Amino acid sequence: TQNISEYKKAEQKLKENFDMVRIAGEKVKLGGWNVILNENRSYWSDEVAAIHEMPAGYSPLVEDGINFYAPEWHDRITEVFSRCAKEGIPYDEEMEKITATGKQVWVRTMGEAIRDEKGNIFKVQGAFQDITTRKQIEIELKNSKARYKAIFESTGTATLIVDEDTTIFLANNECLNITGYAPA
């Protein structure tokens, strides 16, 4: 007979930690992956598979994983992944992917090399995060700024924007023309 109560407590704690990481990953759309280089195969967490709209447990060949990237990103991901796998140079990039159903998503992709006891790189591991919502907000903000600037410049009236200390924050072209000041 052997008392396994400590083992059961540790097992329960491990399960609780796994559940917390799983929930956090689902909420922020973040998952992990790794590539065993001599297998040329990617192993994806369930969240990474979900980002790609693939079933849990999906493990593509490296080339098949790269093919999820939008065509304009193939060269970049191939370059950074290869440098990581060959030279150990980590990467942290934002790129666009096309899911299994054809949906375009932006991801933050990160990778780092793992070395064996002799210092040889045998694995690359990292994370994916779906940042599509953030990218959409950035685009909307950029468009909003452009519309604001167009309105600000087209008023036909000299206009200044000043802060609380009456420091000029922005002046339109009409104001610059009247005052003779340069934008700086």
pLDDT tens-digit profile of 6-37? 877 777 777 776 666 656 556 557 899 999 99
Report residue 161's pLDDT band, with 50, 70 and 90 as the boundaries. Answer: confident
Residues 6 or more apart in contact with residue 160 via CB below 8 angstroms: 168, 170, 171, 175
* Per-residue confidence (pLDDT) for residue 15, from 0 to 100: 75
pLDDT confidence bin for 160, thresholds 50/70/90: confident
Specify the residue for token string 């999906």: 58
Burial letters 73-97, b for 16+ CB under 10 A, else e: beeebeebbeebbeeeeebeeebbb
- Cα–Cα distances in Å, from 62 out to 11, 85, 122? 33, 12, 14
**What are 75-107's pLDDT values in tens digits?**
999 999 999 999 999 999 999 999 999 999 999
Higher pLDDT, 149 or 91: 91
pLDDT for position 125: 97
Query: In this predicted model, what pLDDT tens digit does every residue of 104-121 receive, in sequence order?
Result: 999 999 999 999 999 999
Residue type, 13: K
The pLDDT assigned to 63 comes to 96
- Cβ contact 70:96 at 8 Å: yes
User: Residue 67 has what pLDDT?
Assistant: 97
123 near 37, Cβ under 8 Å?
yes
